[in-house]
Copies of this chain bind each other. A is one copy, B any other.
């Protein structure tokens, strides 16, 4: 396993790979969710590249960029068994003075996370385009945890003709249902208990769906009801949307994304289920 920082070093390492290359883009502080992506990439490719870069352009001015958790040494130890090459550039390498180019996906980035975090997806799609051009992978791996991000990346790849297959892997959860997230480390023990409310809320909605409920407003109501019972939870949004377009639904017909963003204290958590 080799770690590179500068783009020319990445390019020359990349040139030494002759088989298929899988890329797993991360912001570091890796957990079982990331490792599931990296293991999948290992199974499906001859070479595995992991990028570790806390991308400043996808954080809003009031978000947690400066306190975002970091532990590079631990990350390297965790992924060592599965990874050929790590790219760990600095913000100055990715966005040098005079930087001025942005990749933007439009309609699909407007609702949900996009509505709550203006500019977030512009930062995501720009950095992912840069990672794709730098690493030139055959496949790239993203987690279903960031459901809208996965949909937006798929749209970008289709629209801009990137010759890359996007693989979206299932959410990895703690035994009590909490979705793995680097931000879970912000939670104290009381908040950690309360944080299971996202999973409980989604499970209740799924149960209603499986009992035949197809009224999307009632499904959203079910999720809100469970969230409202948790005093530490402050709901930002709750959604029952078309899986492909992310348009909010009135009636559930095809593949559907249930998703939510909830503050537990100052920590913003997201989670989702796919129905159908």
A160 touches B103 (CB 8 A): yes
CB contact under 8 A between A104 and B102, given known A163-B11, A163-B136: yes
Which residues from chain B contact A104 at a C-beta distance below 8 Å? Answer: 101-104
Q: Mark A111-138, 1 if CB is under 8 A from B, else 0.
A: 0000000000000011001100110100
**In the complex the two chains form, is B103's CB within 8 Å of A108's CB?**
no
> Closest Cβ of chain B: how far from A17's Cβ, in Å?
14
B100–A163 touching, CB < 8 Å:
no
Q: What separation, in Å, do the CA atoms of A133 and B157 have in the docked complex?
A: 10
Q: How large is the interface on A (under 10, 10 to 19, 20 to 34, 35 or more residues)?
A: 20 to 34
What would be 14 A-B contacts, judged by CB atoms less than 8 Å apart?
A7-B161, A11-B163, A100-B107, A100-B108, A101-B105, A101-B106, A102-B103, A102-B106, A103-B103, A103-B160, A104-B104, A129-B160, A130-B159, A134-B163
Residues of B within 8 A of A98 (CB): 155
Q: Which residues of A from 51 to 105 have beta carbons under 8 Å from B?
A: 98-105
Q: Give the CA-CA distance A12 to B35 in the complex, in Å.
A: 33
How many protomers of this protein does the assembly include?
A: 2
Q: Among B108, B130, B155, point to the contact of A161 (Cβ < 8 A).
A: B130
User: What's the Cα separation between A98 and B242 when bound, in Å?
Assistant: 14
Q: How far is the CA of A126 from the CA of B161 in the complex (A)?
A: 11
Contact of A100 among B130, B133, B159 (CB under 8 A): B159
In the complex formed, the residue of B with least CB distance to A136 is B163
Contacts of A102 in B (CB 8 A): 103-104, 106
| Contact status A155-B100, CB under 8 Å | yes
Cβ-based interface call for A264 (8 A): no
Q: Cβ of A106: which chain B residues have Cβ within 8 Å of it?
A: 100-102
B99 touching A159 by the CB < 8 A rule?
Answer: yes
Residue contact B101 to A163, C-beta cutoff 8 Å: no
Query: A129's closest neighbor in chain B, by CB?
Result: B160
Which residues of chain B are near A156, meaning CB under 8 Å? Answer: 101
- Chain B residues contacting A100 (CB-CB under 8 Å) are 105-108, 155, 159
A209 on the interface (CB 8 Å rule)? no
Check A162 for interface membership: any CB of B closer than 8 A: yes
List of B residues within 8 angstroms of A130 by Cβ: 159-161
